[in-house]
Amino acid sequence: MQRFNQHLATLDADLGYNFGYLDEQTKRMIRRAILKGIAIPGYQVPFGGREMPMPYGWGTGGVMLSAAVLGRDDVFKVIDQGADDTTNAVSIRQFFAKVCQIDTTTSTDAASVIQTRHRIPEQALKHGQILIYQVPIPEPLRFIEPRETETQKMHALAEYGPMQVKLYEDIVKYGYIATSYAYPVMVNQRYLMDPSPIPKFDNPKLNQSPALMLFGAGREKRIYCIPPYTEVASLDFADHPFAVQQWSEPCSLCHSTTSFLDEVLIDDQGQRMFVCSDTDYCQQQQASKQEPCHG
């Protein structure tokens, strides 16, 4: 209690908010849910969501998780589909800069906590880093079985045949597994999990990652986690193995051939170019390629 009072005393009186916007009791409740989620990798833990100063669908789940885990020494980075400079990323970064007064960065390497919408950074994550995902729909079985009571039972009993049926239907319709984002994974050989709408390109990065991964669904008030170094396998068929997207050309800016590319229309004539969706990675690649010339 004494520590708590000291903590209160250090708050910026002008700010009028507790550190991290949420009150300490709420943060404690969220941290408990996170601990439970880490203990049962891939399991969806319900939690008491709070009203955040942004509408649902704008990353309230991720923001609540960030608010609960950020400390004074953390360096915070926010990406929206890989980019640090979109409205959503900028405003969330500014929000925490304001309510936590902590350092922010656009560098993946420098960040200790990264909140992301729909991407995993290209640069390999490190032990000690936390990646926080914004999740619109946490239940991977929702589109097959709309009854929540039934999907919970299916998770409890690991009855995941119907999910495989969805992939079967993909092959029927398109000749290959056409699901290209929110591609379902099995976590620790036990729970079926929706990795949030990241491209399936990023799925392999989930497996045995040194970083802690936290997933927050604000509207549905669910948290689930992947602890560091956990097996995460993408579902597939023996004769239609899981495969990631590939591009026929490199990034137009940094010439990377190994990153996830966005297609960008550049004029009214339909000209297009492919660029890295991860802006930080792209800039670093460009910089590293220029260095030798300058040197």
Any catalytic annotation for residue 42?
Answer: yes
Closest contact distance (angstroms) between CB of 192 and another protein is: 13
Q: Which CB atom, from 190 or from 240, has the smaller least distance to another protein?
A: 240
**Of the candidates 35, 128, 168, 180, which one interacts with another protein according to CB under 8 A?**
168
C-alpha span between 291 and 285 (Å, rounded): 10
Q: Which residues of 267-290 are buried (b: 16+ CB within 10 A; e: fewer)?
A: eeeeeeebbbbbbbbbbbbbeeee
**CB count in 10 Å sphere of residue 35:** 11
- What is the pattern of x (binds another protein, CB under 8 A) and - over residues 173-212? x---------------------------------------
**Binding of another protein by 237 (CB under 8 A):** yes
Closest contact distance (angstroms) between CB of 204 and another protein is: 19
Q: Which CB atom, from 181 or from 242, has the smaller least distance to another protein?
A: 242
Any catalytic annotation for residue 282?
Answer: yes
H helices, E strands: number in the chain: 8, 12
**Of the candidates 91, 107, 162, 190, which one interacts with another protein according to CB under 8 A?**
162
C-alpha span between 153 and 10 (Å, rounded): 47
C-alpha span between 230 and 235 (Å, rounded): 16
Any catalytic annotation for residue 254?
Answer: yes
Closest contact distance (angstroms) between CB of 179 and another protein is: 14
Q: Number of residues interacting with another protein: please give it, by CB under 8 A.
A: 19
Question: Which among 95-103, 201-209, 236-244, 246-254 is the span making contact with another protein, rule CB under 8 A?
Answer: 236-244
DSSP, res 242: -
| Angle, vertex CA 15, rays to CA 10 and CA 17, nearest 5 | 80
Query: Which distant-in-sequence residues (6+ apart) come within 8 Å of 260 by Cβ?
Result: 82, 119, 122, 199, 201, 202, 245, 276, 277, 278
Active site residues: 42, 251, 254, 276, 282
- Contact footprint for another protein (CB under 8 A): 144, 153, 156-157, 159, 161-162, 164-165, 168-169, 171-173, 236-240
